[in-house]
Amino acid sequence: MSSPSAGGRGAAVPALFSEPWQGVGASDEGRGVPGEGGQGAPDAGHGPPGEGHGPPGEGQGAPGAGHGVPGARHGVPGEEYGALEAGQGVPDGAQGLPERHGVTDEERLARAALTRLVEPGDQAVGRWLRRMGPVALWRALTGKGKPPPGATGDRLAGCALRAAGLDPVADLALIARRGGRFICPGDLDWPGQLDDLGDARPVGLWVRGPAGLRMWALRSVAVVGARACSDYGAHVAAALGTGLAERGWVVVSGAAHGVDGAAHRGALAAGGATIAVLASGVDIPYPRGHAELIERIAEQGLLLAELPPGAHPTRPRFVLRNRVIAALTRGTVVVEAQFRSGSLVTARRAQQLGRSTMGVPGPVTSGLSAGVHELLRGEAVLVTDAAEVAELIGGIGDLAPERRGPLVERDLLDPVTARVLEALSARGGNDLREVARESGIGCDEALGRLHELLALGFVERHGDRWELVRPVSPGDGARRGDPPNRGNWVKGLRR
């Protein structure tokens, strides 16, 4: 990547942090990162800023005209933090901006550089990061230090090729201009649940959107599924997105065609929160047909990516992206998936991480639901709507309503009276003794129950015989034993 202009480097200063830095904002004319005309590092002999040149304090504010951004302890040192030459890496003497939340700007630059140097989810890189730290690893992979343990010559050669022209400062400046930021482990906004991935944890995350990622991720659920979904799958995904958003859940998906897009749209339609985890840079809308949707998510929700700005998706990156979706959320719902589906990869990774895994059933004749059904035969839980999802992954009080059929009036009868009603023949009725015998009670009690049914409109009396009330509309398919004109056409059904 080419070096940013002087103004571009000035814009990069606040991008070094996951939150706006209050000491130095975007450059004004004559301020910011040193540019041309001798406004580079502080004058010779000044060295690290001393009295009157330290962090802007009361009455000092940002550096004045002609000073640029102070070196050593403030901003980005002019000579060292310009565009990095091929293989140069993070400068040895770089101190940069003050430490924020345990992450120095040197670490942040190194991690930003590593996102372009290595592929997401590389566990070897994760082990090296854990043992060496990001700055030492960056130098090691670019030939500025001792090679990491186990690194082959081919791997180091590949890293050297990728390091040519690499400029993390320009990447940070670009993401800042797009209203984004780069967060990494140690930031306040870093979601701790991603640490469950161990050595496969992201090196860092490029983020676009106004919300705080860590807080949103605490109450989030993934909705994933087939790209070539059916109308049924799209309807269910949209309904889940809407229902979860209305219950205060953040809907997470991958912004792909099919189920992903329907889930995002459902959440947005409800005025809810949604996060799209991309397999490309957050400035590269993919798929292209979802460019408008992705921009809406960036405005109303959050876009996340492990890859730096300008990076394009590949098939392996889609699969690796799924582990972030699984780890970030409290549970994963799969809506339509074939046997070979990236959605099943997400669900199984969620199972491995101890997250809730759910599936929405579909027609047994549909190949689009075959993978979900196989998942449901294992440890996944069957769900049909947002209420059931919230009940499974939510807290106390997140209970789905009880499922039952419609309540009919005969359901309100006590068991003995209901037995007397069932004892009456659908054709011709019965006398009292027949009713008592069929219902297993005495004649006196049977007579009392028949009079109750008469008052309720279930039966009528013709001399010594008791008959079910005749249906208003014969042949309407109703069942016997219900009163007329009450919405329960139950007459005329033969035993």
pLDDT digits (tens, 9 = 90+) for 256-285: 999 999 999 999 999 999 999 999 999 999
Average pLDDT over residues 49-74: 38
Rounded CA-CA distance 339/361 in Å is 14
pLDDT of residue 208: 97
CB 84 within 8 A of CB 56: no
% of residues, the chain, pLDDT over 90:
53
For 478, the 3-state DSSP assignment is coil
Torsion sign across C-alpha atoms 197, 198, 200, 205: positive
pLDDT at res. 476: 52
Residue 105 vs residue 90, higher pLDDT: 105
Asked if residue 96 lies in contact with residue 9, where contact means CB atoms within 8 angstroms, the answer is: no
Confidence class of residue 401 from pLDDT cuts 50, 70 and 90? low
The encoded tokens of residue 350 equal: 């969620």
318 — pLDDT class (breaks 50, 70, 90): very high
**What average pLDDT does this structure show over 470-479?**
56
Is residue 351's pLDDT more than 50? yes
pLDDT of residue 399: 65
A 10 A CB-CB count for 408 gives 15
- Taking all residues of the chain, what is their mean pLDDT, rounded to a whole number? 78
Pairing state of beta strands 250-253 and 220-225? parallel
pLDDT tier at 160, thresholds 50, 70, 90:
confident
> Please, what is the end-to-end C-alpha distance for the chain in angstroms?
82
Q: How far apart are CA 9 and CA 78, in angstroms?
A: 9
Task: Answer yes or no: is pLDDT of 323 > 60.
Answer: yes
Q: What is the pLDDT of residue 481?
A: 53
Give the C-alpha separation, 233 to 216, whole Å.
26
Query: Residue 65 and residue 63: Cα distance in Å, rounded?
Result: 7
pLDDT-derived band of residue 400, with 50, 70 and 90 as boundaries? low
**Residue 74 near residue 57 (C-beta atoms within 8 A):** no
Instruction: Determine the average pLDDT of the residues in 113-130.
Output: 93
- Residue 325, pLDDT score: 97
CA pair distance 295, 217, nearest whole angstrom: 20
Other beta carbons within 10 Å of 60: 12
Banded pLDDT at 98 (limits 50, 70, 90): very low
> 110 pLDDT band (50/70/90 cuts)?
very high
Enter the tokens of residue 327: 């780890």
